[in-house]
Amino acid sequence: MLNPENTREVSESVLNWAPDAPKGGKAVMNRVLKDGASVPLFFAQTLIASLRLVVDPSERLRRMDGLSQAAAATHQPVLRSSAMVNQDQINAMMRNFPPEAELLRMSAEDVGMHLLKYMTRGRAETNRFNFLQMVPGGQVAFRFMEGWGGLLRQGFLAPAPNDMYGQNHFVTRAGEAVAQQDDLDAWRKAHLFPDYFDTALQRWVKPLFARGDYDTAVFRAFKEVETRVRKKSGFKTDYGRGLMLKAFGETGPLMAGDAEGRKAARELFAGAISFCKNPSSHHEIDFDDAREVVDMISFANQLLRIVDRL
């Protein structure tokens, strides 16, 4: 505890008020340190030191310079004062990214990809506070934080362990793998492909989709439906619409105990194979829209689920 006997000694040796120190802060500290006050010594010393950094700019910069030197020796990031970053440093940082006008038009996902590329380079700044001191403020900073948040949600970036302030981050193994891809457009397409799809679709269809070979991707998805029905029904020599009509027919082995369900499934599967397995013959399908292709593959995924449950 801080005893009255040593209050004056602490006040005179630790407090070093700057000429422009706020009167309110001085009044609070005088109240804390007045004769008869009883506060934990560690609390008083910490508070006094903190206030000293706030009200004495020269002392603050001296401390920050010392921290920077210590951090450089141990390769640890340190929170920087905005006074320590000049316009040349900001310009140097921004050379790692597209022009500001282009950044402002980008989606959060695209900004995140540029951030990820930057973060995997040597001596990249992955402390969020430090990074924000080294880029322009305003809407540009907001765009960067949108991208940063997206990387965290996707698991490409994670908080560093044992960081009590939550500012330090590191690129995860998944992030490293994505950053190494030269074709970010292919990554964006693959990113549209849900990771909960059937394992066969993940293995055979996703690579086709990522390359933009949408026609073949849809064909391969519904071919998997056909293959699964063939195995389930035991009709090894049948294929296409005929296979669906036979497998779900009145005497077919699939859904044999439910006449109405069998009829509905027969029409559903036969129509899907007829319409979707050869999609290029149907002009209603827009292969310039990756999301529409995903919708079709999602339909195939649902048919596979139905077959697996039979």
Reported as a single tens digit per residue, the pLDDT across 220-256 is 999 999 999 999 999 989 989 999 999 998 888 887 6
Angle 114-118-120 from CA coordinates, rounded to 5°: 120
Q: Which residues pair with 170 in a beta bridge?
A: 158
The pair of structure tokens assigned to 15 is: 């407090």
Q: Which position has the token pair 């999602």?
A: 298
- 47 pLDDT above the threshold of 80: no
Please, what sign has the CA dihedral across residues 107, 113, 118, 119? positive
pTM: 0.50
Give the model's pLDDT for residue 176.
Answer: 85
Three-state SS at 151: helix
The pair of structure tokens assigned to 204 is: 């055979």
- Name the DSSP letter for residue 134: T
